[in-house]
């Protein structure tokens, strides 16, 4: 049985892992297929302009420029399939701000008159998209930097390690504040970069520690004695050992980045971004405390996301860490 298949069995049989993966998976599907749940245009429409498939994606800009009346007029004639909610996340609807729930708006509208369901569903896209890309970028950078720092040692390397230490202890929210201060139009990309800068350091630290530990091991010495290059030793013999902790840390990272994103959009730092965010809805809850749905709905979604990634990461950690398995076997649980 290979190492990977042992890992896979441990993860697949863990109830925590499957619960966490299911939660994250459902939320990810929600984010990916947001247009199928809430969109200002139908999914499929057969009308005077022929057959339109998912105009909300293909003609997003044209639809965004239109008013509510125009949109309604556009799809007055013909027949087709609408998504559950007929509103996008950025359009103020006619129901007005903070409307109660109705057939049109299952959870009502937010303080700007935008449909709450749409806000939440597209918020899942923002939260997960942002955190996944930031975590992956950080993982990539961190593995490379940590590997280099572990393999090539010297004066500049020491400085680099100190840099990592500093970045690692630097509050992410301050980096985000700096980034927000220098950009004209707040964008998701700059947030990804800012978060990746912070995430990168932690991964680099993990990988470097693993490289240093493994360099003293016999199998690395053996590989070197057989004539492997440093790069090959790192790639074939050290990285597979390091990747477990890196993945665990990254899955935990998803949770912390989702929370960070919520905190940033909760605080009125700079202009708000165009994309929907759960944090923004929470900020509205702070302004209108009597509207519990502004608090409970995004709060619950955040809770599920964070909880899901914690469960998954916890299970993964137990799976990759041989010590815990042994302890558990002895304990008989």
Q: Which is nearer to other proteins, 56 or 282 (CB)?
A: 282
Contact 195, 134 (CB under 8 A): yes
Residue span 178-217 as binding mask against other proteins, x where in contact by CB under 8 A, dash where not? xxxxx-x---------------------------------
β-strand partners of 81: 44
Nearest to 308 by CA among 8, 11, 25: 25
Residue span 310-329 as binding mask against other proteins, x where in contact by CB under 8 A, dash where not? xx-----------xx--x--
Nearest to 211 by CA among 248, 157, 169: 157
Straight-line distance from the first to the last Cα atom of the chain, in angstroms, rounded to the nearest whole number: 23
- CA contacts within 13 A on the Cβ side of 119: 28
What minimum distance in Å lies between the beta carbon of 155 and other proteins? 10
Reduced to 3 states (helix: H, G, I; strand: E, B; else coil), residue 80 is: strand
- CA contacts within 13 A on the Cβ side of 247: 17
- CA contacts within 13 A on the Cβ side of 62: 9
Q: Is there binding between residue 174 and other proteins (CB under 8 A)?
A: yes
Q: Which is nearer to other proteins, 48 or 331 (CB)?
A: 331
Q: Is there binding between residue 269 and other proteins (CB under 8 A)?
A: yes
Nearest to 319 by CA among 16, 11, 87, 76: 11
What minimum distance in Å lies between the beta carbon of 23 and other proteins? 11
Q: How many residues bind other proteins (CB under 8 A)?
A: 51
Q: Which is nearer to other proteins, 93 or 305 (CB)?
A: 305
- The structure tokens 């990285």 sit at 239
What minimum distance in Å lies between the beta carbon of 139 and other proteins? 18
Q: Which two tokens stand for residue 118?
A: 């749409």
Q: Is there binding between residue 222 and other proteins (CB under 8 A)?
A: no
What minimum distance in Å lies between the beta carbon of 56 and other proteins? 30
Q: What is the contact surface with other proteins in residues (CB under 8 A)?
A: 158, 162-163, 165-166, 168-174, 177-182, 184, 255-256, 259-260, 262-263, 266-270, 279, 282, 285-287, 289, 295, 299, 302-303, 306-307, 310-311, 323-324, 327, 330-333
């Amino acid at each position: 049985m290979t190492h990977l298949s042992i890992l896979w069995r441990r993860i697949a049989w863990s109830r925590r892992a499957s619960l966490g993966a299911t939660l994250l998976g459902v939320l990810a599907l929600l984010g990916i297929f947001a247009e199928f749940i809430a969109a200002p245009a139908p999914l499929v429409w057969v009308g005077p302009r022929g057959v339109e498939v998912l105009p909300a994606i293909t003609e997003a800009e044209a639809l965004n420029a239109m008013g509510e009346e125009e949109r309604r007029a556009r799809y007055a004639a013909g027949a087709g399939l609408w998504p559950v909610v007929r509103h996008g996340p950025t359009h103020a609807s006619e129901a007005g701000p903070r409307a109660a729930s109705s057939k049109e708006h299952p959870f009502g509208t937010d303080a700007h008159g935008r449909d709450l369901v749409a806000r939440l569903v597209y918020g899942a896209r923002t939260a997960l998209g942002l955190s996944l890309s930031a975590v992956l970028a950080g993982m990539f950078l961190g593995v490379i930097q940590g590997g280099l720092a572990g393999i090539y040692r010297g004066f500049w390397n020491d400085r680099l390690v100190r840099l990592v230490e500093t970045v690692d202890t630097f509050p992410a929210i301050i980096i985000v504040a700096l980034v927000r201060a220098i950009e004209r139009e707040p964008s998701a990309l700059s947030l990804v970069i800012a978060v990746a800068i912070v995430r990168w350091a932690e991964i680099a630290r993990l990988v470097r520690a693993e490289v240093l530990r493994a360099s003293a091991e016999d199998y690395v010495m053996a590989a070197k004695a057989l004539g492997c290059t440093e790069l090959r030793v790192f790639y074939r013999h050290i990285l597979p050992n390091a990747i477990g902790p890196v993945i665990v840390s990254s899955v935990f990272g998803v949770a912390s980045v989702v929370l960070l994103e919520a905190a940033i959009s909760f605080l009125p730092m700079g202009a708000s971004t165009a994309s929907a965010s759960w944090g923004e809805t929470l900020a509205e809850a702070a302004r209108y405390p009597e509207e519990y749905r502004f608090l409970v709905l995004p709060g619950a979604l955040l809770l599920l996301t964070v909880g899901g990634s914690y469960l998954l990461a916890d299970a993964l950690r137990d799976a990759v860490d041989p010590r815990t398995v042994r302890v558990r076997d002895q304990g008989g649980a």
